[in-house]
Every structure is written in C-alpha cells, then in structure tokens.
C-alpha cells in the first residue's frame, strides 16, 4: 500500500478526535538547534479549515487503525469492516517533517488502535515522538494519545517527548463506558489521568526549586532543570449523544475532570454517524447545537465563575438538558432577572462576568477604562458589544430604561430573533 | 504647517521625538508617506531651529509596542493618529491607552487588531514549496547545497518585516524566500535580506502537495458541514493562494451523499474476519475479564 492510500485511511480514522489544539505549550524555537520547529505558550495556529468549520493545526493520524478493542462508537473497532492500514514510525516522522517544512501544520497528533498489547502500542507511539525529537531535533508540537493500560514507565516517556498528552474518558458515565467500550476500564482511565497529573506537578515543583536555588545564589553549580513534563498538560474527550447521559451528567463529569486532574481541556464530540456503525447506537445526524451549548457551558465553568448547579438548575425541569434555543448564560440570566440590571460603572468583576453578551475580555476593558472615567451607554458599542444583547441587563448614568425589557414575559423570544444568525450556522 | 515625510516606523519615531521635544502640536503637522524622508516647513521657519521645550520625554513602552504594529496598517491616517496619541499621553493623560472607549484609542486599537490578525493569518496560510533546482534570482545569497523553499503571499497590511521573525525562529535551519507584492524576505540560515516586491505569483510545483490534499480531504467530516464557521476563519480572499482551497467545492458537494449512505447502511453485521480470529477473540476475552474484575 502506498503512502497516499495509508494517509487517506489513517486520517479518516483519526477525525473523530475533536482536539486539534497546539496552544499553551512552552516557548521553543529552532535558533540554537539543528531541525525545524517552534511552539509558544500562547495561541496555536490554525493552518487551514475544512468545510466542517474545524481547524487543521496538527497532522492528526493514527499509527494504525487495526484494533483489538470493540468500542461500539468507534469506526476502528475490531468488528468494523473498515479498510485497515499501518504506518511505520519512519513514515509518520517523514510526513510530519514534510508537512511542517511547508508550513501546513504546527505538529503531530498521533493516536493508534490497540495492537498486540497496550504496552506494545504505546511504545510504538513513543518511538515516533522520540525519533522526531532526538533524530531530527523537531521543536514543533507533539500531542500523543495515551493508552490508559500502558505501563507507568511508558506514560512517563510519553510526557518527556510530547507537548500534550490525552486520555479519552470517552463517555460521561462509568456505566456507559462498560456498556459501549467493553475492553476499557474506567478505573484504569482515572488512574492514568492521575499519574499524568502527578508527573506534571512534580516537574513544575522541580523547576520552582531549581529557580529558587539559582535566585538564592547558592549552589550555582546545580544544573537548572529545564525539563517540562508535557508542557501543554493533558486533555480528554467525551462523546455526546451516543449514550443517554444528560447534559447535567456530562458537565458534572467534566467539572470533576477539571478539578481532579487539572485538565487543560475537556472536548465534547457530538456522536457522528460512521460507516459500519454498531446497531447499539443512534443512526442520526450529530447533535451539533447540543455540542455547542456544552462548550459554552464549559466556558462558563472555567472562566466565568459559574457552578454546574447554576448552569443546569434552570433546566432541571427539562431532564437536565441545556436549552438549545439560547446560550446557557442567557438562560441563567432570564431565570435570575432580579439580579439585573447591573451597573457597568460600579459592579464587581464577578457580576460583570454574568451579564449576557459581555465576554471576559470586554469585562477587562470595562474595568480598565472605568478607573479613568465613567462609562456611558454609547461607550459599550466602542468596546465592540452588541447593544441589543446587553440592553436589558445593564445600567449606566445615562441609561436605565432596561427595566421594561427585563420585565417582558417574552424576554427569551426577544433574544431568539437576535440569535438567529448564530443558529443558522447549524442550519 | 509642517509637512513630515517618512516611510517606516523607525523614521516616524525619530521625527516624532524631535517634534514633541519642541512642543509642535498635532494639528500643525501633515504626515506624508514617502520613500524619501524629509522635513518640509512652510513660512520659512527652520523646524530644527525651534527651541527645545522638553529635554527628556518618556513614553510608555507598551505604547511603542502597539505603535509598531499600527505603523504596519495600510491606512494613511496612521502616522498622524500615532503622533496625536503620543502627544496626549505626554501632555494630557499617561494612562490614555487604558481608556478603550476614547475614539482615537479605539481607532488605534482597531488598526493594531487588523494588523495582528493579518500577521496571524500570514503565519497560518503561507505555503512553502520546495524548489528542485536552486533558483538563481537572488544570486549567491543561497548555498546551492541547501534545500530551498519559496512561498508567495499577499498580506493586507505592510507586515512582512515584522512577520518574518516568526518564520526565522521556526525555520531557522531552512533556506527560504517569502515573496509578496510589497517586498520579499530571504533567509539563508544565518541572515535575512529584503528585496523589492514582485507582482506575480511564481509558478512552482511541489510533489508533497498531493499528500497534503489527501490529508485535507480525509480529515474533513462530511456529517458536520459548517461552511460559515469555516469562512469566518478562512475568508475567501485567502483561497487563491491555498493549494487545498479548490477541494472545498467538491467536498461540500459530496458530503450529503456520504452522510446519507452512512445513515442508510447504518448498522452492518460484525466483520467476519474479526470473529474468525482466535487471536482477537482471546485478547478481548482477557481484557474484558480484567475489566470486570477491577470494576466489580
């Protein structure tokens, strides 16, 4: 089989992993090196976009799509009749370098079906990363999918070469994992996530210590530890809509993963129909709006000070599902009208963050600007805010007519008309 | 009215300092963008002969960083805007740039944002092509033994000198040229050289490109078409220089059929080969036994 055919099979097999992030690593570049590559602690770069609206940042492929596991939701499960292929380590290394040198990608996201044994498979993945780093001095981004059953030593090695590691939680409840992924073990998944976290924490601790030694001026001969274990941390993915878990369960699971393992990201992947799908799963279009609402809720958890209860509470009568018509922050505000309008010039940061239509960056700008002068209603447009969205919820010295809007029984309808352009994305 | 001609940020900075030290108000300067820098003055007043009113002026570093980006904006009003902001920071309010609702601040920040986005898109959408034989256009600047890559890009703003730093850090050990209508940058693994812009895209083939197109087609999920989301991040104006862009139409056209086929032929019988494989069956049994033991 030629390389082009392999690439088409093994890229196709990899596309159900939502992550393509190349952000939040450490700063590296090639100036004192022999190879190519750089990464930054900030934003990654999206080198292209496919018509599904997703970015291409990394070369996302499987090493092989042969697999012993038989997870119902997966196109590569053992009982699927999909065409199989396997890359050699050198083929993946060469492809990564060829793509990288042409500026198509930020690096590699490598995953694999489980062949022979978990350790054998993990070792193959680690070898690709090792060759890129050691043989080619590659300084671009490497994301390795980690196999939870692999030995602790292999997990440690993976973090030495990769910028990011991920273990997929796959489904929101243990019950679902056992039902749909019979060869996977929820306990091992959590154990391995815990192991990655402690490696990440330890390496942070070590660097802190060596920094301290240096700044004390003592023991200057001690070599500063530059090593960072998986500098972009770990992430995970949950499939949405394959089992019958509701949004409340999904968000609670995500919240625990963030809390327990300091996940950088939990990705939500709407279950998408595949060829040769298992009969145990729904054959329908992926629930993209639901996925979008979950991401919005996830943002509220991480950057806006909301709790899972607050986000899901307005929906407790809807079987714990988020409202698909309006975003979760707006849904919360409509239920808590008594807290509005909020005075833009006086409210604390926490309250500004709760105003629908105002994002975290705009909140920063408001706080900076209001130190120097009182903000007028018209100033909000200059900050790039939509007056239609914020009108019912804000108050300034020259604007306070929002109460009438706030009292409207059809407040949700007022917003649904303004949300329509966004909804059409999913049309 | 003084007419000040400049052609880059460094010159603006130099002239602006001279003018600010002499307390020349923003209203009495007309800034011109020109290849030749010059200070022209009306009414026979020698500009340099004006008395220096402020010996030492210090401007926040954050402003200079921002101004450097604003200076790349293809907008003739930028030099006057920057001078006016500098004047106001020095003589009105040192924290002016924090007031992001001030009209001039808003305008400058918009320009900086446009330039920042343009740089970001250039970092993303430049496509290098490997040239087989060494291109002689740039003489012996490049070593004939090294692989040589060439890219063509059309930025919205005058960002090449700033944007090139990213490529140098990332592709330090590669020889390359980035050609644009405003100027060309060349890197021979040790130093950068700028030459005049060229006006036509060079015609280059690269055999790796077919693999890139294969990847692009196969990583696309036909069940999640969101063309607007795609276009907001990769607007059509960039498509002309992206080798993968011609595939978009075909991928969109076929997406519907592919999904229908998946949904209709939804569930199939388990693959006979798997069932027959004693190796697979034994391995699965072993793993499942392990799972049940651990979770019960």
Query: Is B200 within a domain?
Result: no
Cβ-defined contact of B267 to A279 (cutoff 8 Å)? yes
- Given A288, A323, A352, the domain boundary residue is A288
What does the pLDDT read at residue A422? Answer: 41
Cβ-defined contact of B95 to A45 (cutoff 8 Å)? no
Query: Is B169 within a domain?
Result: yes
B167 and B257 in one domain?
A: no
The dihedrals phi and psi of B294, each to the nearest 5 degrees, come to -70, -30
Q: Write the residue in B103, B171, B226 that is nearest to A425 by C-beta.
A: B226
Residue A284 vs residue B102, higher pLDDT:
B102
- Given B60, B89, B121, the domain boundary residue is B121
**Cis previous bond, A99, omega within 30:** no
Quick: pLDDT tens for A270-282: 998 877 777 788 8
Cβ-defined contact of A277 to B266 (cutoff 8 Å)? yes
Query: Is A127 within a domain?
Result: yes
The tokens describing A128, both together, are 């690709």
Give the integer Cα–Cα distance in Å for B107 and B77: 10
B113 and B69 in one domain?
A: yes
B145 and B94 in one domain?
A: no
Give the integer Cα–Cα distance in Å for B108 and B85: 9
B162 and B98 in one domain?
A: no
Ramachandran sector of residue A332 (left: φ over 0; alpha: ψ -120 to 50; beta: rest) = alpha
Quick: pLDDT tens for A146-188: 999 999 999 999 999 999 999 999 999 999 999 999 999 999 9
Chain B residues closer than 8 Å to A51 by CB: 220, 225-227, 230, 248, 251-252, 255
Chain A residues closer than 8 Å to B273 by CB: 81
Angle between helices A186-216 and A152-161 (to 10 degrees): 50
Quick: pLDDT tens for B164-176: 999 999 999 999 9
Contacts 24+ apart (CB under 8 A), A198-202: A199/A155, A199/A156, A199/A159, A199/A229, A199/A230, A200/A159, A200/A229, A200/A230, A200/A233, A200/A234, A200/A262, A202/A229
Give the integer Cα–Cα distance in Å for B5 and B35: 8
B251 and B230 in one domain?
A: yes
Chain A residues closer than 8 Å to B166 by CB: 38
Chain A residues closer than 8 Å to B209 by CB: 102
Query: Is A169 within a domain?
Result: yes
Average pLDDT over residues A299-312: 94
- Given B148, B174, B195, the domain boundary residue is B195
Q: How many domains does chain A have?
A: 2
What does the pLDDT read at residue B288? Answer: 80
Quick: pLDDT tens for A3-20: 999 999 999 999 999 888
What does the pLDDT read at residue A409? Answer: 80
Query: Is A373 within a domain?
Result: yes
Range of the domain at B256: 207-296
Query: Is A323 within a domain?
Result: no
Query: Is B72 within a domain?
Result: yes
Radius of gyration of chain B (CA): 29
* Residues of chain B with confidence (pLDDT) below 50: 296
What does the pLDDT read at residue B169? Answer: 97
What does the pLDDT read at residue A420? Answer: 45
Cβ-defined contact of A38 to B149 (cutoff 8 Å)? no
What does the pLDDT read at residue B285? Answer: 85
The residues, any chain, with a CB within 8 Å of residue B203's CB and separated by 6 or more, are none
Cβ-defined contact of A51 to B230 (cutoff 8 Å)? yes
| Residue B182: Cβ within 10 Å count | 15
What does the pLDDT read at residue A427? Answer: 31
Query: Is B202 within a domain?
Result: no
B189 and B175 in one domain?
A: yes
Query: Most confidently modeled of A291-305, A407-421, B130-144?
Result: A291-305
Average pLDDT, chain A: 90
A27 and A87 in one domain?
A: yes
Handedness of CA B103, B104, B109, B110 (dihedral sign): positive
A348 and A246 in one domain?
A: no
Give the integer Cα–Cα distance in Å for A239 and A169: 9
DSSP state of B96: G
The tokens describing B197, both together, are 């812009």
Query: Is A103 within a domain?
Result: yes
Q: End-to-end distance of chain A based on CA atoms, in angstroms? A: 39
Q: How far is A290 from chain B (nearest CA, A)?
A: 13
What does the pLDDT read at residue A426? Answer: 37
B105 and B11 in one domain?
A: yes
From B293, which residue of chain A is nearest by alpha-carbon distance? A185
Give the integer Cα–Cα distance in Å for A403 and A418: 19
What does the pLDDT read at residue A416? Answer: 82
Query: Is B294 within a domain?
Result: yes
Judged on CB neighbours under 10 Å (0-12, 13-18, 19+), B124 is buried
DSSP state of A113: -
Chain B residues closer than 8 Å to A375 by CB: 101
B135 and B94 in one domain?
A: no
Average pLDDT over residues A50-57: 94
B165 and B225 in one domain?
A: no
A247 and A380 in one domain?
A: no
A340 and A239 in one domain?
A: no
Quick: pLDDT tens for B122-140: 999 999 999 876 665 777 8
Radius of gyration of chain A (CA): 24
A232 and A350 in one domain?
A: no
A340 and A228 in one domain?
A: no
How many A×B Cβ pairs under 8 Å?
231
Q: How far is A284 from chain B (nearest CA, A)?
A: 7
Give the integer Cα–Cα distance in Å for A79 and A69: 9
A353 and A283 in one domain?
A: no
A144 and A67 in one domain?
A: yes
Choose the mutation target among A3, A19, A37, A51 for the interface with B, i.e. most B CBs under 10 Å: A51
B36 and B142 in one domain?
A: no
Query: Is A258 within a domain?
Result: yes
For residue A421, name the pLDDT band (cuts at 50, 70, 90): very low
Give exposure, B234-268, as e/b (b: 16+ Cβ within 10 Å): beeebeeebbbbebbeebeeebeebbeebeeebee
From A80, which residue of chain B is nearest by alpha-carbon distance? B271
A158 and A21 in one domain?
A: yes
Q: How many domains does chain B have?
A: 3
Range of the domain at A390: 335-426
Query: Is A317 within a domain?
Result: no
Q: Write the residue in A14, A99, A274 that is nearest to B212 by C-beta.
A: A99
Give the integer Cα–Cα distance in Å for A99 and A316: 48
The residues, any chain, with a CB within 8 Å of residue A156's CB and separated by 6 or more, are A199, A229
ipTM entry: 0.92
Q: How far is A129 from chain B (nearest CA, A)?
A: 18
Query: Is A392 within a domain?
Result: yes
**Percentage of chain A surpassing pLDDT 70?**
93
- Given B121, B153, B176, the domain boundary residue is B121
What does the pLDDT read at residue A425? Answer: 38
Give the integer Cα–Cα distance in Å for A171 and A168: 8
Residue A423 vs residue A377, higher pLDDT:
A377
DSSP state of A149: T
A142 and A239 in one domain?
A: yes
Query: Is B27 within a domain?
Result: yes
Give the integer Cα–Cα distance in Å for A351 and A78: 51
Give the integer Cα–Cα distance in Å for B147 and B174: 7
Query: Is B201 within a domain?
Result: no
Give the integer Cα–Cα distance in Å for B35 and B20: 23
The dihedrals phi and psi of A387, each to the nearest 5 degrees, come to -65, -35
What does the pLDDT read at residue A424? Answer: 37
- Given A222, A255, A288, the domain boundary residue is A288
The tokens describing A210, both together, are 């060596």
Cβ-defined contact of A34 to B173 (cutoff 8 Å)? yes
């Amino acid at each position: 089989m030629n390389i082009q055919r392999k690439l088409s099979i093994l890229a196709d097999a990899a596309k159900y992993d939502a992550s393509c992030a190349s952000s939040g690593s450490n700063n590296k570049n090639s100036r004192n090196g022999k190879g190519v590559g750089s990464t930054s602690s900030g934003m990654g770069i999206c080198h292209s976009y496919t018509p599904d609206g997703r970015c291409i940042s990394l070369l996302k492929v499987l090493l092989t799509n042969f697999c012993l596991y038989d997870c119902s939701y997966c196109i590569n499960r053992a009982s699927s009749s999909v065409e199989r292929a396997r890359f050699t380590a050198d083929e993946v290394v060469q492809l990564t370098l060829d793509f990288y040198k042409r500026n198509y990608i930020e690096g590699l996201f490598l995953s694999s079906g489980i062949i022979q044994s978990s350790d054998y498979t993990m070792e193959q993945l680690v070898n690709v990363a090792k060759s890129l780093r050691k043989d080619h001095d590659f300084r671009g981004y490497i994301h390795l999918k980690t196999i939870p059953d692999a030995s602790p030593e292999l997990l440690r090695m993976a973090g030495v070469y990769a910028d990011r590691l991920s273990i997929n939680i796959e489904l929101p409840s243990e019950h679902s994992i056992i039902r749909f992924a019979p060869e996977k073990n929820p306990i091992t998944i959590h154990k391995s996530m815990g192991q990655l976290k402690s490696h990440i924490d330890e390496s942070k601790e070590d660097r802190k210590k060596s920094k301290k030694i240096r700044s004390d001026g003592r023991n200057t001969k001690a070599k500063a530890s530059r090593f960072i274990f998986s500098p972009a941390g770990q992430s995970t993915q949950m499939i949405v809509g394959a089992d019958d878990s509701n949004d409340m369960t999904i968000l609670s699971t995500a919240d625990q993963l963030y809390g327990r393992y300091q996940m950088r990201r939990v990705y939500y992947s709407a279950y998408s129909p595949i060829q040769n799908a298992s009969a145990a799963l729904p054959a329908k279009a992926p629930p993209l709006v639901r996925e979008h609402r979950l991401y919005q809720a996830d943002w509220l958890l991480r950057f806006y000070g909301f709790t899972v209860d607050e986000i899901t509470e307005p929906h407790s009568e809807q079987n714990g599902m988020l409202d698909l018509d309006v975003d979760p922050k707006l849904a919360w505000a409509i239920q808590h009208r008594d807290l509005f309008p909020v005075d833009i010039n006086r409210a604390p940061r926490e309250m500004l963050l709760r105003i629908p239509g105002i994002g975290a960056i705009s909140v920063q700008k408001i706080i900076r600007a209001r130190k120097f002068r009182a903000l007028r209603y018209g100033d909000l447009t200059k900050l790039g805010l939509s007056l239609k969205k914020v009108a019912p919820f804000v108050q300034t010295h020259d604007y306070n007519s929002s109460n009438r809007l706030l009292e409207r029984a059809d407040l949700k309808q007022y917003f649904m008309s303004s949300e329509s352009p966004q909804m059409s994305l999913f049309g | 009215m003084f007419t000040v001609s400049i052609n880059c940020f460094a010159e603006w900075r130099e002239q602006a300092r001279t003018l600010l030290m002499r307390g020349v108000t923003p209203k009495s300067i007309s800034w011109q963008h020109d290849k030749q820098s010059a200070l022209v003055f009306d009414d026979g007043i020698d500009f340099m002969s004006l008395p220096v009113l402020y010996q030492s002026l210090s401007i926040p570093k954050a402003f200079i960083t921002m101004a450097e980006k604003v200076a790349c904006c293809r907008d003739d009003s930028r030099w006057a805007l920057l001078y006016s902001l500098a004047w106001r920071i020095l003589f009105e309010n040192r924290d002016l740039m924090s007031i992001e609702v001030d009209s001039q601040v808003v305008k400058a920040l918009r320009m900086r944002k446009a330039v920042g986005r343009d740089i970001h898109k250039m970092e993303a959408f430049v496509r290098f092509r490997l040239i087989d034989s060494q291109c002689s256009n740039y003489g012996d600047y490049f070593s004939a033994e090294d692989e040589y890559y060439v890219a063509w890009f059309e930025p919205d703003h005058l960002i090449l000198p700033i944007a090139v730093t990213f490529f140098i850090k990332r592709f330090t050990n590669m020889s390359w040229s980035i050609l644009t209508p405003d100027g060309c940058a060349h890197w021979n693994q040790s130093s950068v050289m700028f030459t005049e812009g060229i006006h036509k895209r060079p015609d280059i083939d690269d055999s790796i490109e077919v693999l890139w197109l294969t990847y692009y087609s196969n990583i696309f999920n036909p069940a999640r078409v969101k063309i607007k989301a795609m276009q907001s991040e990769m607007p059509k104006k960039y498509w002309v220089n992206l080798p993968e862009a011609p595939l978009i139409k075909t991928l969109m056209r076929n997406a519907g059929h592919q999904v229908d086929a998946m949904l209709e032929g939804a569930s199939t019988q388990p693959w006979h080969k798997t069932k027959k494989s004693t190796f697979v069956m034994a391995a699965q049994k072993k793993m499942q036994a392990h799972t049940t033991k651990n979770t019960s």
